[in-house]
Amino acid sequence: MKFLPFLFVFSIIFPLFSFAQENGLPKAISPLEMEMLDTYHAPASSGITNPPYSPVRTMAEWEEIQSLVITWTSYPEVLREIVRYAKEECEVIIVCSNATSVRNYLQNYGIDDTNVTFVVEDFDSVWVRDYGQNSVYTNDVDSLLLIDWIYNRPRYEDDLVPERIASEKGIPIYSTTSAPFDLVHTGGNFMADGLGTGFSSNLVLEENGPGGSFNETVKNEAQIDQIMNDFMGINRYIKMETLPYDGIHHIDMHMKLLDEERLVVGEYPTGVADGPQIEANIQYVLSNFNSAFGEPYEIVRLQMPPDANDQYPDSGGWNPGDYRTYTNMVFVNKTILVPVYEEQYDSTALRIIRESNPGYRVEGIDCNDIIQASGALHCITKAVGVNDPLWIVHQSLKDTYDNTDYVVDATIKHKTGIDNATLFYQIDNSGTYFSSPMTLVDMTNDIWSGNIPGQVQGTNIKYYVHATADNGKEQVRPIVAPNGYWEFDVLEIASASNDIANLPFTMAPIFPNPASEITCIPIFSNQMVEEASIQLKDVLGRTMEIIHQGKIAVGESKFFFNAKEYSAGTYFVEFSSEKDVITQKIFIK
């Protein structure tokens, strides 16, 4: 386990120790718990300790859920607001010591117990995200299973909560609690895209390595990856450096997957707190990994606000600023619950979240108290997936210059089979959705395809997919459709490039321009180009990046670079082949 300098550890632990006396155990290990590390043994599991027999898939957080689990202990004001909103979307399971007192408390605030289930069991802390169950499916959509890791805290009763939830729901549970499959992990340090990609900080390596506290056997990275593949179906496990100021090294405090293609990332002012390391981690991801669809991840940035004293986690001396974050949000079917702190910062964050997730109900919940313990809404909730998911996966269509039909392909699966699928699309915010039937074009991979008719330049297109299973279950994707949707624009081609059809190749306008993030370079070619080069150059003509070297296929191709990696200013994108050189100016802001 990584040990921080004593003064920094003391500055983190001492406030948390005092805080814990009044508000319960913090997310971090308390001083009293640190004394237990040498003698503590995690509880033996009553679950299955071998991997599932069939291949499994970890559910993504935006998929449909049947239950949201919370543990009723500290921060009741936050918990009650979670119940208020979540019970409208799914069953809320409240693990508690006295159901009557919790029910009465909720009723005093106008919240009845409709869609609420009380599970009276022992527990230690509120942080169910970290010790709670994980939902996986055999063969993508068949049987729901729950996976339980060894909790990375000496909290015996917390570590047994997943088995109690499994018993309550009647769902089989598999546990990584016995050698050679023993694995220490924590839910706040894990996220998955539903397609086999997982993300964590290097904390998972530290806690299962030679310095780990709770694992029976020391694991190297390859062994950890294998366990995650066997139990969780994670076949690509992306790990990032831990952060110097977050204390607990849980990635949900500064980043989150919004869907298979987009990451929302917390951003500090330049040089402040964990900002430099967060940025380095994101650049590492962008430089080394694409989404499961093979395209660069889109990054949505949210400000990490200072605390009420205008301090950040790297300021304040012995009493550092709170780790305020908006990325610690939680999906609850068609609702997104977001931690909020001060209106002057919250309004911008909520606007960005709503714009990035059209159709969702986005609700803010005051987290000023709980954030002092290094956690917020995501940290105190854990979902249980539905028993019969109708799974729809689609790589969203991007802005294009093409005016021919737009093909929408989607993987659509249900354990009983798919009866039919339909593509719905809307032109220029008309308010009217047109329908187009989808057909099964790849039976092996369950791919259905439909077409949106080609549109003129300047058109905006919104669309979604609807499917019906053989057993009658219906589902849409995005899950909030028709209020939510995917969308793309048919871009207008600059006048200098209007005669593309008569050119062997050309470079359409780069977008966005000015640029600050992932930037697209559209290339059109009427013939195969055997050898071409696309380079980013500065105003002195120096090559800053070779974006592409090699063949250019016939038709439209898109190439990308990340403007975030470069200083603000004027640059040039140069596309060259043996026949010609085309240069286009790009401004980076």
Statement to judge: residues 81 and 112 lie in one domain: yes
Statement to judge: residues 169 and 51 lie in one domain: yes
Cα(381)–Cα(332) distance, integer angstroms: 10
Statement to judge: residues 214 and 112 lie in one domain: yes
Domain residues for the domain of 268 are 6-385
Domain termination site, one of 436, 459, 489: 489
Split at pLDDT 50, 70, 90, the class of 497 is very low
Residue 1 within any structural domain of the chain: no
Statement to judge: residues 481 and 378 lie in one domain: no
Domain termination site, one of 331, 355, 385: 385
Domain termination site, one of 436, 458, 489: 489
Domain count, the chain: 3
Q: Is the pLDDT of residue 355 over 70?
A: yes
Statement to judge: residues 238 and 355 lie in one domain: yes
3-state helix, strand, coil in the chain (%, to 5): 20, 35, 45
Statement to judge: residues 485 and 538 lie in one domain: no
Average pLDDT, the chain: 90
Among 303, 311, 187, 314, which residue's Cα sits nearest to residue 254? 303
Q: Are strands 262-267 and 298-303 parallel, antiparallel or unpaired?
A: parallel
CATH of the domain at 207: 3.75.10.10
Give pLDDT, residue 583: 86
Q: Is the pLDDT of residue 298 over 50?
A: yes
Statement to judge: residues 574 and 476 lie in one domain: no
- Provide the whole-model pTM: 0.82
Statement to judge: residues 465 and 523 lie in one domain: no
Q: Is the pLDDT of residue 319 over 90?
A: no
Statement to judge: residues 320 and 454 lie in one domain: no
Neighbours of 393 (CB within 10 A): 23
CB burial class (10 A; 0-12, 13-18, 19+) of residue 530?
exposed
Among 326, 276, 337, 323, which residue's Cα sits nearest to residue 301? 326
Residue 406 within any structural domain of the chain: yes
Split at pLDDT 50, 70, 90, the class of 493 is low
Statement to judge: residues 154 and 206 lie in one domain: yes
Statement to judge: residues 548 and 427 lie in one domain: no
Statement to judge: residues 168 and 257 lie in one domain: yes
- Condensed to tens digits (0 to 9), the pLDDT of residues 421-464 reads 999 999 998 989 999 999 999 999 999 999 999 999 889 999 99
- Condensed to tens digits (0 to 9), the pLDDT of residues 320-332 reads 999 999 999 999 9
Give pLDDT, residue 175: 96
Neighbours of 319 (CB within 10 A): 12
